[in-house]
Amino acid sequence: MWLWLRDDMGWFIGLIGGFILFLYAIVPTFQPSHFHRIYAAYGGIFIILSVLWGWIFEGIAPDMYDIIGTIIAIIGVAIIYYMPRKDEEKKVWQSKQ
């Protein structure tokens, strides 16, 4: 999508980009775990990859605030996704028996 919008590429590139974005939004819904936690982890990885993409491919080195924001996002993902919860522990245990 970005190439299509920014560099005035053909409509076919825009169509492919739109389809990839559609898949990007749909794939996490098929994960067997809790959707909101999968999506949070997905978002954290997206933040890291966005900063790396800008650095590697666009030549824009991350500044201190980019790095701090990325670290905060990853800590948030870890808290949301990995912290145990009492109610869910019981549910998971019961479903395995």
The pLDDT of residue 49 is above 80: yes
Asked whether residue 23 falls in the same domain as residue 48, the answer is no
Give how far Cα 41 sits from Cα of 36, 37, 71, Å.
9, 6, 13
**17 and 43 part of one domain:** no
Rounded mean pLDDT of 5-19?
77
What is the pLDDT confidence band of residue 1, given thresholds at 50, 70 and 90? low
For the chain, the domain total comes to 2
| Model pLDDT, residue 88 | 65
- What pLDDT was estimated at residue 92? 47
The verdict on 54 and 23 lying in the same domain is no
Residue 60 confidence (pLDDT) = 94
> Residue 93: is its pLDDT beyond 80?
no
Residue 36: closest CA among 72, 66, 76: 76
> Which domain range does residue 45 map to?
32-97
Residue type, 82: Y
